[in-house]
Amino acid sequence: MTGRFSGRRALVTGSSRGIGAAVALRLAAEGATVAITARTLDQHPTLPGSLHEVAHRIEAVGGQAPTVIVADISDPADRARIVPEAEEGLGGPVDILVNNAAAAMYLPLVDYPLKRRHLTFEINVHAPVDLMQQVLPPMLARGEGWIVNLSSATARPAADPSNTPARIATMAVYGSSKAALNRLTNGFAIELTGSGVRVNTVEPRAAVLSEGAAAVASDVITPELTESMEEMVEAAVALCDCPPELSGRVTVSLDLINELGLTVMALDGTAPASPA
């Protein structure tokens, strides 16, 4: 266990599995005290992974996850208690917020249901903004803080729609929500310039085959289109410890790793990750 994040309190959403779970594990392994939140406490009906499992993994590497918050981030009233409960369990205000929770529903646009459009933007846009607004006052008072929002390459429109597979159109609502999150992240960073609070997004350059991604897109995600979980996490945690001059950027995992000259570490942070 390293001490890179010793003394810092972190909150990671969507941390019962996938990228969120891996980021929480890495932050804790490097000394942060971590609050984890998601809907699945013990068992999901179809996907592996739970908050209890992640908490046990964190404890196994010598980390601390004293706060496990079961919440539905799509519900404004339910998510309103996440930051207060995290602060209570962590023993102080949040230093690092990682907005990882997301909804991805890939459907044809010609009859994409309004209810699902609302849900996508509620989870992928409004929830991160609400949580950012809640953690900011103590960050601004201290003159320091890190906010990392997880984005997606689907935020960028296809350069040649007439020569693009039709399945790409089914990602448009999800991609639009991530484009909104990118723009809001940049707006927060502009507004907070000089405050010491860093706000960034990071997206995978290639797909990360998390449990959720495997469930919705395993038929189109082939090995050559993927990057490792360790690579994605390396980029995310770099932004959890970045200097103020990096604030406001929409970054890409592998590009950021190359730019900063980072060594991709295992999720426990103690040794370089094994080659894929």
Which of the 8 DSSP states describes residue 272? B
- End-to-end distance of the chain based on CA atoms, in angstroms? 23
In a domain, 239, yes or no: yes
d(CA 185, CA 247): 9
- Does residue 268 lie within any of the structural domains? no
The lowest-confidence range among 98-102, 162-166, 220-224 is: 220-224
**Residue 84 CB partners (closer than 8 Å, separation 6+):** 134
pLDDT score recorded for residue 17 = 95
Widest CA span of the chain, in angstroms? 54
Would you say residue 267 lies in a domain?
Answer: no
Please indicate whether residue 174 is annotated as part of the active site: yes
pLDDT of amino acid 9: 98
pLDDT, tens digit (0-9, with 9 covering 90-100), for 254-268: 999 999 999 999 999
pLDDT at 209: 64
In a domain, residue 255? The reply is yes
Residue 206 lies in a domain: yes
Answer whether residue 235 shows pLDDT above 90.
yes
The count of domains in the chain is 1
Structural domain for 101, as ranges:
9-260
pLDDT of residue 229: 94
pLDDT score of 82 more than 60: yes
Strands of the sheet containing 9-13, edge to edge, are 64-70, 33-38, 9-13, 96-99, 145-150, 197-203, 250-252
Length of the chain: 276
> Which SS3 state, helix, strand or coil, does residue 251 take?
strand
pTM reported for the whole predicted model: 0.93
Question: How far are the Cα atoms of 47, 60, 106, 165 from residue 123, in angstroms, in the given order?
Answer: 19, 31, 15, 27
Provide the Cα torsion 152, 154, 159, 165; round to 10°: 140
Residue 269 falls inside a structural domain: no
105 closest CA partner among 14, 176, 203, 174: 174
Residue 156 lies in a domain: yes
CATH number of the domain that residue 55 is part of: 3.40.50.720
Which tokens in the block code for residue 115?
Answer: 């209810």
Which one from 20, 174, 227, 267 is the annotated catalytic residue? 174
Q: Is the pLDDT at 214 greater than 70, yes or no?
A: no
pLDDT exceeds 60 at position 213: no
Count CA within 13 A, CB hemisphere, residue 213.
18
| Residue 135 covered by a domain | yes
pLDDT value of residue 224:
52
Of the listed ranges 2-6, 21-25, 209-213, the one predicted with least confidence: 209-213
pLDDT at residue 42 in the model: 87
